Chain A
């Protein structure tokens, strides 16, 4: 079970690419291979069966032909019975004198030569007539070794033949011809059918080549070998002449004599044997052919199939690898991208892929990344900028010039010995310093802010005396509202910065208005105004979303940025100016009452 688990684990852990390739091969290559193998096997078997069934039938026919041929040969002795001359000699009594015997011998032997050797049956090479009265022979080829005492020819026991012919094979007799022809001896009794007496025995030596002529007609493969043997395995005819007369030792192991079988050697050299045994002489006709020649064509087809199969496998494997690759490649790309993201690079774009599942995943990841980047930008960057603005605001709270000028003015006042005024100025300056030092709270009651402006303006009035006038309008409206710190002072400072450069009396009015939920603070002066090109630049700065850029030094822009960051784009500064006529700056902030203070406080503390 543990082993199983390990295997399962291993399978599960295998890369998707390999899993796909393996699955593909399992689904295509293996069934293909199995089908191919089975088809080849079945085909080969079918061919073998077809041949195995067909050849015995041919052999049966050939066997019948051989038997017919033998039957015809066996009818040849009848020529003797039909010849009254020969019959007269054979029927006559034993000879009285030698001359009569020699005369008869001449008659009989010339008859044998004429009848058997000159006839169409050219396969007959010798005729031997053995009788009670003497032996006669006529041959085409000189012979030796026809020893009548040792041969099996039933001389003297002729009745044993009782009319049937006998085939004597060369291994049973010593007869041989000078040209070493292979032959069989057909032995027939010469019977006097009228007198019912046996007259003698006729032995005809027939060349086995007549079998060859019959076998030639068999429709056989070139590589096939056909031979004839008797039931003891003695080979009567074989295409290889040296084998004629030998004994096929394997005959006892042949499983049948009518039908087909093949050897089952493990190597390729199997042989298909087809056998048929004749009914009369019990001769066995054997047809043998190497199986590989039968299946030659199938083998060729098999080889081609294997090549095609291998090519297909290669092609399909490449295809499957490609498919697997095309599936896993986007995943790999995606995972690389994810790793980069993991390392902190959010500014990555995934190359566009297909619109498949992986593509959708990539798209989703991309949009998630965008979302993430958006959020980070919105919060993290805002925080940073606010912090910068805060530092800037802190820096810009009390202008050192103003401090210096105020202290100079206080000194001058003390010199004139107006100690009351000096004291008042010191108190006001103290108040201003305290206000600017008050930590933490960004939103303050508007009254406190207005008080701070008043202090500032009061100190400037003391310094510049009649060159400065200032007015407040709508102060009654502001009672319960809050505002950010230092939003008015930078604007008033600006008015002084430019307004005091001319010789005119600087008049500054600060007006509070409430329109719906918005508090408008309008600071107007009668200073030199702003020329058009400068105006355009300032307007641009005010409209920029990147609040603290190069123009951040400008008080107006700073205030505008702080308001917009703290509240939203709908609030901020707007200004109107005409060269030589003065400038009007409108600050708009939401109406913030005590109870909603927490909302902004919490924003601030992040």
Chain B
């Protein structure tokens, strides 16, 4: 009996030894890490988000540029983009659009709001549907959205624009402001800081009027023309939305007051180019609306992925952003002059 047992054991050992060699299992795992073990690229981002973007108004060059940037980002980031704006800068129209997007069950809505408060209820109901709300360019009240993607710091922008005007006016004389919609919160903020800067630093200057163009070039032109007629001693006009400076410059040209009335403000290089080249406008200020569009989509996607936005974060193809509370600030404003206007194509 014992002989047989020993024989059996020996046979078993030999057999198992053979098996081990046959399998060539040369490694013994001691510790398995938590990370992925297979050498392969992750295909986790199968999920394709749909982002709906609502500008203040459709059809104007500024928002067209924004749309371009957004499309680029949508392609880069692999998201579906629906860009749809109202024909007039009106919150009611925007509300309808939001309602439509809720029905379409989009993943996120990025809106440049025409009213900070009135869109609140519809945005809240969108939020209840699980739709992420991001505002950009023009904010709503904080409780209705997750992030606000702002192009520049409003205080900095407002003060800077006032500086460019006062530099051209030698810090004295009367001026007026052409804003966009009465209710657009961001523009209001800028105006506030412009006035603050003037009151603090340039006491010799005097504000004579603030008028609203509703982002309509024609209306802006008429308002400027009217103002130049009314106030013969007006020295400067600030356009705080993109339609403002070109319309004002045209009005100044038409009134043959080139050089007497200085026009500054926020508008895109493409709109300003002819006036800068013929020196009606010495300095125009803006940011890249394409970049803002790109950033908006990038931030929206980050929000959809649940990633946190932090201060000084580097966004691919945009650069380093700042975060103030839950307001994302894209960067510094760009000044356009006769020297550099040709570098910019928006």
| CB of A555 closer than 8 Å to a CB of B | no
Task: Kindly identify which residue among A87, A162, A164, A259 contacts B33, using a CB–CB cutoff of 8 Å.
Answer: A259
Task: List chain A residues, Cβ under 8 A from B41.
Answer: 282
Task: List chain A residues, Cβ under 8 A from B314.
Answer: 75
A259 to B343, CA, bound (A): 52
Task: Kindly identify which residue among A49, A251, A259 contacts B37, using a CB–CB cutoff of 8 Å.
Answer: A259
Residues 34-70 of B, flagged 1 when their CB comes within 8 A of A and 0 if not, give: 1111110100000000000000000000000000110
A262 to B26, CA, bound (A): 8
Is the beta-carbon distance between B33 and A56 smaller than 8 angstroms? yes
Q: Which among B30, B334, B344 has the greatest number of chain A C-beta atoms within 10 A? A: B30
Task: List chain B residues, Cβ under 8 A from A231.
Answer: 39
| CB of B174 closer than 8 Å to a CB of A | no
Task: Answer whether A194 and B36 are a contact pair too, CB < 8 Å, given A163-B76, A163-B317, A264-B25.
Answer: no
Task: Answer whether A191 and B317 are a contact pair too, CB < 8 Å, given A197-B345, A231-B39, A258-B33.
Answer: yes
Chain B proximity of A91: nearest CB distance (Å): 4
12 A-B residue pairs with Cβ-Cβ distance under 8 Å, sorted by A, are A49-B30, A162-B75, A193-B318, A196-B72, A253-B27, A255-B27, A256-B32, A256-B33, A259-B33, A262-B30, A263-B27, A277-B35
Which 9 A-B pairs rank lowest in CB-CB distance, beginning with the nearest?
A: A258-B33, A52-B30, A194-B288, A163-B317, A258-B35, A52-B31, A259-B33, A163-B316, A196-B290
Is the beta-carbon distance between B37 and A257 smaller than 8 angstroms? yes
Closest to A56 in B: B33
Closest to B41 in A: A282
Is the beta-carbon distance between B27 and A264 smaller than 8 angstroms? yes
A92 to B343, CA, bound (A): 7
Is the beta-carbon distance between B34 and A196 smaller than 8 angstroms? no
Task: Kindly identify which residue among B31, B33, B34, B68 contacts A49, using a CB–CB cutoff of 8 Å.
Answer: B31
A243 to B205, CA, bound (A): 73
| CB of B306 closer than 8 Å to a CB of A | no
Residues 259-285 of A, flagged 1 when their CB comes within 8 A of B and 0 if not, give: 111111100000011111101001000
| CB of A78 closer than 8 Å to a CB of B | yes
| CB of B325 closer than 8 Å to a CB of A | no
Task: List chain A residues, Cβ under 8 A from B343.
Answer: 87-88, 91-92, 195
Chain A proximity of B42: nearest CB distance (Å): 9
A194 to B66, CA, bound (A): 11
| CB of A396 closer than 8 Å to a CB of B | no
Task: List chain A residues, Cβ under 8 A from B290.
Answer: 194-196
Task: List chain B residues, Cβ under 8 A from A75.
Answer: 314
Closest to A189 in B: B317
Task: List chain A residues, Cβ under 8 A from B72.
Answer: 196
Is the beta-carbon distance between A258 and B345 smaller than 8 angstroms? no
Task: List chain A residues, Cβ under 8 A from B69.
Answer: 196
A193 to B73, CA, bound (A): 12
A84 to B335, CA, bound (A): 12
Closest to B28 in A: A264
Is the beta-carbon distance between B35 and A261 smaller than 8 angstroms? no
Chain A proximity of B299: nearest CB distance (Å): 15
Is the beta-carbon distance between A194 and B26 smaller than 8 angstroms? no
Task: List chain B residues, Cβ under 8 A from A258.
Answer: 32-37
Residues 42-71 of A, flagged 1 when their CB comes within 8 A of B and 0 if not, give: 000000110011001000100000000000
A273 to B344, CA, bound (A): 55
| CB of A471 closer than 8 Å to a CB of B | no
Task: Answer whether A253 and B68 are a contact pair too, CB < 8 Å, given A88-B343, A91-B343, A196-B290.
Answer: no
Is the beta-carbon distance between A254 and B27 smaller than 8 angstroms? yes
Q: How many residues of A contact B (CB 8 A)?
A: 48
Chain A proximity of B241: nearest CB distance (Å): 19
| CB of B143 closer than 8 Å to a CB of A | no
Task: Answer whether A81 and B31 are a contact pair too, CB < 8 Å, given A88-B343, A277-B36.
Answer: no
Given A196-B346, A197-B345, A261-B27, 5 more contacts at CB 8 Å?
A81-B319, A194-B344, A195-B290, A258-B34, A274-B31
Residues 225-269 of A, flagged 1 when their CB comes within 8 A of B and 0 if not, give: 000000100000000000000000001011111111111110000
A251 to B38, CA, bound (A): 12
Closest to B69 in A: A196
Chain A proximity of B345: nearest CB distance (Å): 5
| CB of A3 closer than 8 Å to a CB of B | yes
Residues 62-106 of A, flagged 1 when their CB comes within 8 A of B and 0 if not, give: 000000000000010010010010011001100000000000000
A120 to B28, CA, bound (A): 44
Chain A proximity of B335: nearest CB distance (Å): 11
**For chain A, what secondary structure do more than half of its interface residues adopt (helix, strand, loop), or is it mixed?**
mixed
Is the beta-carbon distance between A195 and B346 smaller than 8 angstroms? yes
| CB of B83 closer than 8 Å to a CB of A | no
| CB of B2 closer than 8 Å to a CB of A | yes
A265 to B76, CA, bound (A): 50
Chain B proximity of A17: nearest CB distance (Å): 26
A160 to B253, CA, bound (A): 46
A3 to B4, CA, bound (A): 13
A282 to B40, CA, bound (A): 9
Task: List chain B residues, Cβ under 8 A from A262.
Answer: 27-28, 30
Q: Which residues of A476-512 have CB atoms within 8 Å of chain B's CB atoms? A: none
Chain A proximity of B44: nearest CB distance (Å): 12
Is the beta-carbon distance between A265 and B26 smaller than 8 angstroms? yes
Closest to A197 in B: B345
Task: Answer whether A194 and B316 are a contact pair too, CB < 8 Å, given A88-B340, A272-B30, A277-B35.
Answer: no
Is the beta-carbon distance between B37 and A48 smaller than 8 angstroms? no
Closest to B295 in A: A193
Residues 138-166 of B, flagged 1 when their CB comes within 8 A of A and 0 if not, give: 00000000000000000000000000000
| CB of B6 closer than 8 Å to a CB of A | no
A81 to B332, CA, bound (A): 13
| CB of B132 closer than 8 Å to a CB of A | no
A322 to B86, CA, bound (A): 110
A84 to B72, CA, bound (A): 24
A259 to B34, CA, bound (A): 8
Chain B proximity of A189: nearest CB distance (Å): 8
Task: Kindly identify which residue among B31, B39, B75 contacts A257, using a CB–CB cutoff of 8 Å.
Answer: B39
Q: Which residues of A389-424 have CB atoms within 8 Å of chain B's CB atoms? A: none
Task: List chain B residues, Cβ under 8 A from A274.
Answer: 31
A3 to B320, CA, bound (A): 89
Task: Answer whether A193 and B319 are a contact pair too, CB < 8 Å, given A256-B32, A258-B36.
Answer: yes
Task: List chain B residues, Cβ under 8 A from A78.
Answer: 319-320
Is the beta-carbon distance between B30 and A282 smaller than 8 angstroms? no
A191 to B315, CA, bound (A): 13
| CB of B167 closer than 8 Å to a CB of A | no
Is the beta-carbon distance between A196 and B288 smaller than 8 angstroms? yes
Chain A proximity of B34: nearest CB distance (Å): 7
Task: List chain B residues, Cβ under 8 A from A251.
Answer: 39
Is the beta-carbon distance between B344 and A263 smaller than 8 angstroms? no
Closest to A49 in B: B30
Q: Which residues of A273-316 have CB atoms within 8 Å of chain B's CB atoms? A: 273-277, 279, 282
Task: List chain A residues, Cβ under 8 A from B27.
Answer: 253-255, 261-264, 273
A441 to B165, CA, bound (A): 177
Task: Answer whether A193 and B317 are a contact pair too, CB < 8 Å, given A256-B33, A260-B30.
Answer: yes
Chain A proximity of B181: nearest CB distance (Å): 26
A196 to B288, CA, bound (A): 9
Task: Kindly identify which residue among A87, A197, A272, A276 contacts B35, using a CB–CB cutoff of 8 Å.
Answer: A276
| CB of B291 closer than 8 Å to a CB of A | yes
Is the beta-carbon distance between B33 and A276 smaller than 8 angstroms? yes
Task: List chain A residues, Cβ under 8 A from B317.
Answer: 162-163, 191, 193
Task: List chain B residues, Cβ under 8 A from A4.
Answer: 1
| CB of B29 closer than 8 Å to a CB of A | yes
Task: List chain B residues, Cβ under 8 A from A257.
Answer: 35-39
Task: List chain B residues, Cβ under 8 A from A162.
Answer: 75-76, 317
Is the beta-carbon distance between A261 and B29 smaller than 8 angstroms? yes
Q: Which residues of B290-346 have CB atoms within 8 Å of chain A's CB atoms? A: 290-291, 294, 314, 316-320, 334, 340, 342-346
A78 to B36, CA, bound (A): 32
A579 to B334, CA, bound (A): 174
Task: Kindly identify which residue among A53, A88, A263, A275 contacts B26, using a CB–CB cutoff of 8 Å.
Answer: A263
Closest to A271 in B: B27
Task: List chain B residues, Cβ under 8 A from A53.
Answer: 30-31
Q: Which residues of B257-302 have CB atoms within 8 Å of chain A's CB atoms? A: 287-288, 290-291, 294
